[in-house]
Amino acid sequence: MSDGGFSVLRAELSQLTGSLLDLFRQRMEVVEEVAEHKRGTGKPVLDRRREEELLAGLAGHERVFLQTLLRLSRKRQYELLMADDDQWQLPQQLRLAGKETRIERAVFVPGPLVKGEDLLPGLHPTVVNSSLEAVQSVLAGNADTALIPVEDMVETYLLLDQAGLFINKAYGLGGRSRLLLVGTEFTLVEEASRLSLLLSVSESKGVLAWVLSILADCGLTAARLECLAGSIFLELLARPEEEEILRVLYQLEKECGELRLLGWYSVESLA
């Protein structure tokens, strides 16, 4: 093919792309009207049956194209509906979050790399034998903070979820090893950069790909992701001032399942 023939093809592609974008903008205008209708009727944004009908018979690139188009359409609807959703509790949780971690009594699980006294100077933290014992001490009111190692990530985060505790800070020890400072109060400090959460899902089939697609649409990075029995654990690289993160959390909860924040915290490297 000559350079002239190639230039003709590029020009044709540019024209088609422009036409596609014009149609996309027109479609999004209709999507905004649909959102207003759903605001008034209370209908959910996601209609799985309707999407399955639209996708029926499609495969390969055509199916992926339409799936992406439908997902972006839902994204726009959530942007419009989120601000007026009085039933969504997470924004209030963030507004009421403490701005610092107040520590008066602490317990810690000793390890070979770092001593609790080094990270909690002047507090004389009490030594306990396990993360479970540390968590139980906080729940019993014998301590307001526990410093625990993450020996098994899944086990540790499920323990925190079951106990209703929050991560206030993390200490990186190199690789995937870390220590967590946990307590009963949800805090949100200015330097927070990691967001840990659990999604309770009723059906695991396809949910992981669904979650990753939502994150990718907004350019969010998952530092850690684990599939558990009936749950998905996510650790996101995100700062509280990023407006898009709230919209993503809203969509995740509406489409994937009940969402519980485990903490929005800073990470200090000790390696």
pLDDT for position 113: 61
pLDDT for position 26: 98
pLDDT for position 117: 67
pLDDT for position 160: 92
pLDDT for position 84: 86
Distance CA 163, CA 135 (A): 7
Domains and CATH numbers, the chain: 3-84 (1.20.59.10), 90-269 (3.30.70.260)
Contact (Cβ atoms closer than 8 angstroms) between residue 120 and residue 103:
yes
Helix (H) or strand (E) holding 60: helix 60-81
Q: Give residues with Cβ within 8 angstroms of 171, minimum separation 6.
A: 114, 119, 178, 179, 180, 181, 267, 268, 269, 270
SS3 of residue 146 by DSSP: strand
- pLDDT tens digits, the chain, 271 residues: what are they? 676 778 899 999 999 999 999 999 999 999 999 999 999 898 999 999 999 999 999 999 999 999 999 999 999 999 999 988 888 888 889 888 988 878 889 998 887 666 666 777 777 888 899 999 999 999 999 999 999 988 777 788 889 999 999 999 999 877 767 899 999 999 999 899 999 999 888 766 678 888 889 998 888 889 888 887 788 889 999 998 888 899 999 999 998 888 999 999 999 888 6
pLDDT for position 204: 63
User: E strands along 101-203, which residues?
Assistant: 106-108, 126-127, 145-149, 166-172, 178-183, 194-200
Tell me the two tokens of residue 193.
């950069």
pLDDT for position 1: 63
Contact (Cβ atoms closer than 8 angstroms) between residue 80 and residue 226:
no
Query: What type of residue sits at position 32?
Result: E
- Let me know how many helices (H) and strands (E) the chain has, helices first: 9, 9
- Which single residue is written with the structure tokens 């526990």? 146
Of 82, 58, 80, 79, nearest to 68 by C-alpha is: 58
Query: What type of residue sits at position 170?
Result: A
pLDDT for position 158: 87
DSSP annotation of 267: E
